[in-house]
Amino acid sequence: MAIDQQSAPPPLAPGFPSRRMQRVAVDLGSFIVTLCLTFLGLMAITFFIGRVIPIDPVLSVVGDRATQAQYDAAKIAMGLDQPLWQQFISYVGNVLTGDLGRSISTGRPVAEDLARFFPATFEMATLGIIIGVALGVPLGVTAAARQGSWLDQAIRVVGLLGYSVPAFWLGLVGLAIFYARLQWVGGPGRLDIFYDGLVEPVTGMILIDALIRGETDIFWNAVSHIILPASVLGFFSLAYIARMTRSFMLDQLSQEFVTTARVKGVPERIVIWRHAFNPIRVPLITVIGLSYAGLLEGSVMIETVFSWPGLGSYLTTALLNADMNAVLGATLVIGAVFIVINKVSDVLYRVLDPRAR
């Protein structure tokens, strides 16, 4: 039963924005300030860690047969002879202008690389988390509502599998069954080879780009390729989300206000979804957010098995080649993802929990 949430605002002089607008503006201002500070902190940490690890970025550029003179010249050209704080300031300046440096292993600017690799990961992770939430939450709620039943046991076994099965094994078995034998899905890669490069990237996410261009057969081909790796990722987040949902729900179902609802004669379905589930949305958002952020880092295992050109494999290759510009760039993106997801959860908390307003 909805009852009007807002009482009438007090009258204000004409020409002044309402108090609610003022509050929103203040909230937004503090939001942006904290966001900038967090980013600065993130840049500082990635930068200094990048500089203290015992990898010589100069050596990886000039190779180990270079003379001392060539080495020194390269070092000066890369700006590594300057004091650390000056390097940091020029690094921050470069990042702000969108210049993340050039990757040694790909030879392209890191920003350009990230614009190619991150959308691939983003697409797969988003689909994965959608699968994980759409199945994991109802499974967790069902398991808690029927605690101790065979259904609960079955769901717990699924959860346990999600914790203990290695990702690469599940990926390979999935490919062997659904691609090689049943031919229900596409194989490794984002598209069949003859569709490759036909869609001009707009967002970099093939599903969306194909829809924008109206290329439905490319869209369905991309779906057939992404569905298996996304399901494997979805299964792992499902296992985690279902497990957490179950334990949050059990906690709520033993609360007094759930008994109150039953005393009122409320049907069990409403007891479970309105009275027990609604209060757990806030902790659940934390779990889902962290799980999503984890997927957005890119899973090296899944990306390798499915030849998926994503952030995880890009970062791993960069690390192995001592490609510090690429490593710092990718780390920055991952850090930014965590910050954004945290901020979004903060906003959602306030919407969902009246106590946090």
Closest separation in Å from C-beta 279 to another protein: 5
Specify the residue, 246 or 275, whose C-beta has the smaller distance to another protein: 275
Question: Which residues does residue 102 pair with via DSSP β-bridges, in sequence order?
Answer: 109
Give the binding site for another protein (CB under 8 A). 1-5, 7, 255-257, 259-268, 274-275, 278-279, 352-355
For residue 144, give the H/E element and its range.
helix 110-145
Q: Quick check: 301 and 229 in contact, CB under 8 A?
A: no
Q: How far is the CB of 182 from another protein (least distance, A)?
A: 43
Q: Is the dihedral of CA 15, 16, 20, 22 positive or negative?
A: positive
CB of 262 to another protein, least distance (A): 6
Q: How far is the CA of 185 from the CAs of 3, 190, 215, 238, 294, in angstroms?
A: 49, 12, 19, 21, 25
Give the residue with the Cβ less far from another protein, 203 or 259: 259
Q: Least separation, in Å, of the C-beta of 2 and another protein?
A: 8
d(CA 251, CA 245) in angstroms, rounded, equals 10
Closest distance between another protein and the C-beta of residue 152, in Å? 13
Q: Write down the least CB distance from residue 145 to another protein, Å.
A: 12
Measured distance CA(285)–CA(169) in Å, rounded: 29
User: Min. distance of Cβ 147 from another protein in angstroms?
Assistant: 10
Nearest distance from residue 5's CB to another protein, in Å? 7
Of 6 and 97, the one with the shorter C-beta distance to another protein is 6
Q: Which of 276, 286, 295, 244 is nearest to 131 (CA)?
A: 295
Nearer to another protein, 108 or 262 (CB): 262
Nearer to another protein, 261 or 324 (CB): 261
Residue closer to another protein, measured from CB, 22 or 260: 260
CB nearer another protein, residue 212 or residue 352: 352
CA distance 329 to 332: 5
CA distances from 51 to 58, 144, 270, 297, 311 (A): 12, 49, 56, 22, 22
Closest CB to another protein among residues 7, 97:
7
**In the 3-class helix/strand/coil scheme, how is 183-222 assigned residue by residue?**
CCCCCCCCCCHHHCCCCCCCCCCHHHHHHHHCCHHHHHHH
Burial of 103 (0-12, 13-18, 19+ CB in 10 A): buried
Cα 330 to Cα 153: distance, rounded to the nearest angstrom: 41
The CA distance from 349 to 340, in Å, is 14
Comparing CB distances to another protein, the nearer of 100 and 272 is 272
Q: Which of 225, 166, 163, 150 is nearest to 190 (CA)?
A: 225
Q: Minimum CB separation from another protein for residue 267, in Å?
A: 6
d(CA 176, CA 156): 26
